[in-house]
């Protein structure tokens, strides 16, 4: 595999499959106490706040025997104007890998170009590949397969949607994305995903997208950095809520996924989030296991 993990497409289908199987094994307790990262330090450079990404990486690195080193721009010279390139050059002299959580994907790519150690995308405005690994693991756990699963993503065509499209292309999912006009996912990522094994459709009607779905997935309507247009977004997405009416269109054994944080009464109702079809908190836990499997593969 490539030394960096900036988007899901950086991994081939077989590599993704290996990570998922390893993650499921780690969750079941395989190789408990094994410490492949003993003596290694992994940096966590976060421009954006985080709950799941930060804690799952810190705990996962520790459980693998490594040392997590958490940094924010305010605590480093990058906050005073040191270039991304210089920061990457220096940090890669100290660390064995670096997880970067940032706004602009181009900044992440610049960082990776100048780093001498593997760089992992902890989230950017364009991709959220670690979330997608956890999503695929959860689908495999709950449905027993990935190839041919029908997944409906309802809402904003954001970084999570982009990474799900790449997941569909790599692993053979049938993905329907329902979003309002003007809120579609990245067209270049869509074209790339369609060159793979799966199918990706962009629709307007959420009930059409959810028809006979095995999985229904959503994310927040207002992501970090979009607060100024919050009310506009709530109006645009008001018909794109996961609720009991929408789930009637899906299969009887549909599972409901959400990458969290969730805003009950907006993109999903509390009834559905807390209901028997929700696997949201298993999905959140799986960030830990999937990322441990990724770190094992990436950090040598």
Q: Catalytic residue numbers?
A: 101, 128, 131, 219, 259, 287
β partners of residue 40: none
| Residue in this structure with the two tokens 């079941």, named with its chain if needed | 28
**What order do you get walking across the sheet with 119-123 strand by strand?**
67-71, 41-46, 97-101, 119-123
12/18 Cα distance (integer angstroms): 10
Beta strand spans in the chain (E) = 41-46, 67-71, 97-101, 119-123, 150-154, 174-178, 199-203, 215-218, 255-258
| Residue in this structure with the two tokens 């810190």, named with its chain if needed | 58
Helix (H, G, I), strand (E, B) or coil at 182: coil
Q: How far is CA 63 from CA 34, 88, 230, 272, 282, in A?
A: 8, 26, 39, 33, 19
Burial of 165 (C-beta count, 10 Å sphere; 0-12/13-18/19+)? buried
154/218 Cα distance (integer angstroms): 5
171/69 Cα distance (integer angstroms): 33
Q: What's the token pair of residue 123?
A: 């989230």
Helix (H, G, I), strand (E, B) or coil at 60: helix
Task: Please say whether the dihedral angle defined by the alpha carbons of residues 224, 225, 231 and 235, taken in this order, is positive or negative.
Answer: negative
Task: Please say whether the dihedral angle defined by the alpha carbons of residues 12, 18, 21 and 22, taken in this order, is positive or negative.
Answer: negative
99/110 Cα distance (integer angstroms): 14
99/92 Cα distance (integer angstroms): 11
């Amino acid at each position: 595999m490539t030394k960096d993990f900036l988007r899901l497409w950086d991994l081939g289908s077989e590599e993704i499959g290996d990570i998922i199987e390893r993650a499921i094994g780690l969750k079941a307790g395989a190789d408990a106490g094994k410490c492949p990262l003993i003596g290694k330090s992994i940096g966590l450079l976060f421009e954006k706040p985080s709950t799941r990404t930060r804690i799952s990486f810190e705990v996962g690195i520790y459980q693998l025997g490594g040392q997590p080193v958490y940094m924010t721009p305010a605590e480093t010279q990058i906050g005073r104007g040191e270039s991304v390139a210089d920061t990457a050059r220096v940090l890669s002299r100290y660390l064995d890998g670096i997880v970067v959580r940032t706004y602009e994907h181009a900044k992440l790519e610049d960082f990776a170009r100048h780093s001498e150690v593997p760089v992992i995308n902890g989230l950017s405005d364009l991709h959220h590949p670690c979330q997608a690994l956890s999503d695929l693991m959860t689908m495999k756990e709950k449905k027993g397969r990935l190839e041919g699963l029908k997944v409906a993503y309802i809402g904003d065509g954001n970084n999570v949607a982009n990474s799900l499209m790449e997941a569909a292309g790599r692993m053979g999912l049938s993905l329907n994305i329902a979003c309002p006009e003007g809120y579609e996912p990245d067209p270049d990522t869509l074209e790339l995903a369609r060159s793979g094994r799966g199918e990706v459709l962009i629709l307007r009607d959420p009930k059409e997208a959810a028809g006979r779905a095995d999985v229904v997935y959503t994310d927040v309507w207002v992501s970090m950095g979009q607060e100024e247009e919050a009310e506009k977004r709530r109006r645009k997405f008001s018909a794109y809520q996961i609720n009991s009416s929408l789930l009637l269109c899906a299969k009887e054994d549909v599972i409901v996924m959400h990458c969290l944080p969730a805003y009950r009464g907006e993109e999903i109702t509390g009834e559905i989030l807390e209901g028997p079809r929700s696997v949201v908190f298993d999905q959140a836990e799986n960030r830990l296991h999937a990322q441990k499997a990724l770190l094992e593969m990436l950090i040598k």
